[in-house]
Amino acid sequence: MAARATAGQAAPVTVRIQAGDFSLADEIAALTGGRTDIGAVVSFSGLCRDEGGRLATLELEHYPGMAERAIRAIAEQAVERFSLNGITAIHRHGAIAPGGNIVLVVAAAPHRQAAFDGAAFLMDFLKTDAPFWKKEHLKDGGAGEWVSAKDADDKAKARWAKARSRSE
């Protein structure tokens, strides 16, 4: 049965880091099942790119315990800031082939803009604040590179310091 928030109770926050794949449909059902207070659900799925056909797998490592705490803190901020009815964040670790799922965020809210903003906020902070590392393994057998942080991710995160949600 899905976790339900009632008056005076915190909205459900689900955070998992796992090696196995996830199902978008199952996660939406778990977040929304039996709920009539939700008016919008927004999901984001991040997939492994093939980097122009050269990537065999992407290896994802994380700092166990710390990564979950970091994502939970971000998710709880999103719930508070955007008055979400609930949020789910799942991130995979291990070797992931091109086309495979890496990350899932599902945000539920009374109205669409809050759900969009909550999902974007969580992803923008997850990319910069959660302790994950990515290493490329190439099809030609060559040693892949550890993927560097991107300036664009820092800029995406910085926008939240300037702007409040349009739903607020």
Note down the domain range covering 140.
Answer: 13-161
Report the pLDDT value the prediction gives residue 164, as an integer from 0 to 100: 58
Whether 121 is covered by a domain: the verdict is: yes
CATH code where residue 127 lies: 3.90.1170.40
CA dihedral 92, 28, 26, 43 (to 10 degrees): -40
Residue type, 115: A
Distance CA(130)–CA(139), nearest Å, equals: 28
Whether 6 is covered by a domain: the verdict is: no
Question: Percent of the chain beyond pLDDT 70?
Answer: 91
Whether 2 is covered by a domain: the verdict is: no
pLDDT averaged per 10 residues in sequence order, the chain, 168 residues:
50 97 98 96 98 95 97 98 98 98 99 98 95 94 82 89 58
Report the pLDDT value the prediction gives residue 10, as an integer from 0 to 100: 74
- Asked if 35 and 80 touch (Cβ cutoff 8 Å), the reply is no
**Beta bridge mates, 41:** 108
Whether 166 is covered by a domain: the verdict is: no
- Asked if 44 and 104 touch (Cβ cutoff 8 Å), the reply is yes
Whether 155 is covered by a domain: the verdict is: yes
Whether 151 is covered by a domain: the verdict is: yes
Report the pLDDT value the prediction gives residue 42, as an integer from 0 to 100: 99
- Asked if 33 and 23 touch (Cβ cutoff 8 Å), the reply is no
pTM to 2 decimal places: 0.89
- 3-class SS of residue 111: coil
Tally of domains in the chain: 1
